[in-house]
Amino acid sequence: MSVVRHVHVACFVFPCVFVLVLASIGSEVVRSQAPLSRFELSQPSMGSMLDLVVYASSQQQAQESMDAGLLELERLSLILSNYDPTSEISVLCKTAFNQPKAVSLDLQIVLQESRRWHALSVGRFDITVGPLSQLWRSSRKMKTLPASDQVAIALKASGWNQIHWVSDASEGLGQLRISLRSPDSHLDVSGLATGYIIDRMYEAMIAKGTESILINAGGDIRVGKAPPCRAGWRVDVAGLGKNAPLFATYLIADCAVTTSGDLFQYIEIDGRRFSHFIDPDTGAPIERRQSVTVFASTALDADAGATALAVMGLELGSEHFDKMPLGKALLLQVDKSTNDIRFRLLGDPQYGQP
């Protein structure tokens, strides 16, 4: 059983600072008499820190809520982790070459949502770029550019035409089997798997009667109702530099938010700065400096939306934003020619606010 830390609720701010994320969570004070207490848990998970905050009537209720969320995290990590060689998605990528394999309901949903976001992003959100992601990940470690023929081979093994949907589940969630048409194909669902897991954790925790909760998995965040004595959860959006001042602050409730960018995940090779976002058209990482913060009703859409808009860029993302299931987005981008920061706010400026 996980051990939670109890903090008695009073009407003052409980600031929480999360390292390696582009957003920090706090809260603002209002008048309230809610008889709830605050409980917290932090632990390494999914390659970063997982932070849970629950307001509950007792430690037992908080414990049950957090344990329910953590059970979902453990269950789904065994299905969706691209970094676990024994996970369902990893085994599928190794064994599905010309051999149709049945997939679990959770993986089917993630694959269907990936296909939906591929369409919404005019092809820029693409889980089939796994071979390219692996190639450039190795280059980041070696600090050398991959050979052009290596990029060409990885690019050829990418693309949705490499996935054969043996039974089409587009009309519903039936049994789906898929095969891969290239032995080098690899599906990388990291662009929305964390969001999907957070949504399932959120549902499990809400089912325990705790409505005021926060889940933060390395910058992918979902929050419930505003905490007692507070108007909402505070999200601070960082600037584009590691020492830059905060760019914006929002109070939110009952929504999800994700920030994607190259503030921490980048490498410089031969004087060029490469992010971890792969352009599926060229097979190369995006080189522009940027930050994208997305607000949505679910963590999956916030996660996928932030990745999609980061790959699309400011102009293409702005053009297609209204077709996406997102509330609002903040796009920051450094102009290469002038080094000035370009900013654009898309959607409803009031979205997500209590």
What would the two tokens of residue 259 be?
């920030």
Residue 173 lies in a domain: no
Nearest Cα neighbor of 107 from 125, 93, 122 is 93
Regarding pTM above 0.95, the answer is no
Beta strands (DSSP E) in 4-106 are 5-7, 23-29, 37-45, 48-56, 101-102
Mean pLDDT per 10-residue segment, the chain (354 residues): 41 27 42 73 86 96 97 97 94 95 94 96 96 87 86 94 77 76 94 97 98 95 95 88 82 96 66 79 85 96 97 94 97 82 93 92
Question: By residue range, what is the domain housing residue 317?
Answer: 5-62+216-347
Does residue 18 contact residue 216 with C-beta atoms inside 8 Å? yes
**What confidence score (pLDDT) does residue 289 get?**
81
Residue 73 lies in a domain: no
Residue 314: give its domain's CATH number: 3.10.520.10
Give the C-alpha separation, 17 to 290, whole Å: 22
**What confidence score (pLDDT) does residue 333 get?**
86
**What confidence score (pLDDT) does residue 299 get?**
98
**What confidence score (pLDDT) does residue 35 get?**
84
Nearest Cα neighbor of 61 from 203, 201, 211, 221 is 211
**What confidence score (pLDDT) does residue 7 get?**
39
Count the domains in the chain: 1
Give the C-alpha separation, 19 to 100, whole Å: 42
**What confidence score (pLDDT) does residue 137 get?**
83
Give the C-alpha separation, 293 to 332, whole Å: 9
Helices 59-80 and 105-120, packing angle to 10 deg: 70
Residue 104 lies in a domain: no
Residue 12 lies in a domain: yes
Residue 245 lies in a domain: yes
Residue 75 lies in a domain: no
List 291's β-bridge partners, or say none.
261, 332
